[in-house]
Amino acid sequence: MDQLSDLLRQFSISAGVFYSGQLCGLSDVSTGDELVGHIHVLRSGRLSIQSKQQQIEVVAPSLIFFPKPQAHRLIVDDQQPAELVCATIQYDNANHSALANALPEQMVLSLSQQVQFARTIELLFSEAFETDQGSLVIMDKLVEVLVTLLLRHSINQQSKHSGLIAGLLHPKLSQALAAMHKQAASKHSVEWLAEQAAMSRTSFIDTFKQTIGCSPGDYLVEWKINQAKQLLKRRKPIAWVASEVGYQSVSGFTRAFRANTNMSPKQWLDQHNPNN
């Protein structure tokens, strides 16, 4: 069974190239209100990538992938331009968190050690300097291929999967997870989720804990709160957010949110949107 293909069919990933060519100096990459990741393909030159978390020095041809929204700055020596392609990675609104949160904060792969990417990157840069019609669409599709190759590389590198990726690749648990992700506002009983996975209640609970590392109930609350955070960042009213993720009252939502983050929704929003 091709588990990666089955996994990717649950998610919609699209790429949008926003820069290709030689870069000098500084370039800020912001996330805005969008639920996006970013990928940078460095073919030549040196590149520093600065974010709040750290600064990455890239001194050889590499793929740099930020699966989750993360504002950062590209820094290139004015005397030594870097040749690169940069693109946003957009996930479908329903399921973006599940896939993105299952991946590392960033992935940096040296192209000299990853020959399986060579043909796609060669085509990508060929189109980057092509003036023929349709080149922009072709570049977007090639970047989507690169993301798929990155996911395959990440999965193949793990000798034993654990956590959410393992659950999403599991032939039975993946069905229950898909139901949770699509219907976050619903009250899912363990019995109903076990039915989606075609498992007994006891087997489902045990397998879920062993594979993902928490109970189905704890995972569902975590998922709801993550969805709520994205809606809050989009400036949706707290009462509306509470209802959208399945809480019948603002007070119940606030209790669950505080238990998860040690902050009320308003406090969390103020911290993550300091200019509002």
Q: Mean pLDDT highest for which of 43-47, 68-72, 126-130, 182-186?
A: 43-47
Residue 32 pLDDT: 63
Which structural domain range is residue 106 located in? 3-157
Q: Which of 157, 187, 218 is the last residue of a domain?
A: 157
Q: Which of 241, 239, 233, 175 is nearest to 31 (CA)?
A: 233
Chain center to CA of 172: 22
Residue 86 pLDDT: 93
Q: Which of 98, 132, 157 is the last residue of a domain?
A: 157
Q: What CATH code is carried by the domain that includes residue 131?
A: 2.60.120.10
Tell me the mean pLDDT in the region 170-179.
86
Torsion of CA 251, 254, 260, 263, to 10 degrees: -140
| Whether 151 and 262 share a structural domain | no
With a cut of 60, say whether residue 96 has pLDDT above it: no
Helix/strand/coil percent split, the chain, to 5: 50, 20, 30
What does pLDDT average to over the chain?
84
| Whether 57 and 140 share a structural domain | yes
* Number of structural domains found in the chain: 2
| Whether 150 and 177 share a structural domain | no
Q: Which of 178, 203, 209 is nearest to 191 (CA)?
A: 203
75 versus 185: the higher-pLDDT residue is: 75
> What is d(CA 80, CA 140) in angstroms, rounded to the nearest whole number?
27
Residue 3 pLDDT: 61
With a cut of 90, say whether residue 98 has pLDDT above it: no
Residue 17 banded pLDDT, cuts 50, 70, 90: very high
| Whether 106 and 233 share a structural domain | no
| Whether 137 and 183 share a structural domain | no
7 versus 33: the higher-pLDDT residue is: 7
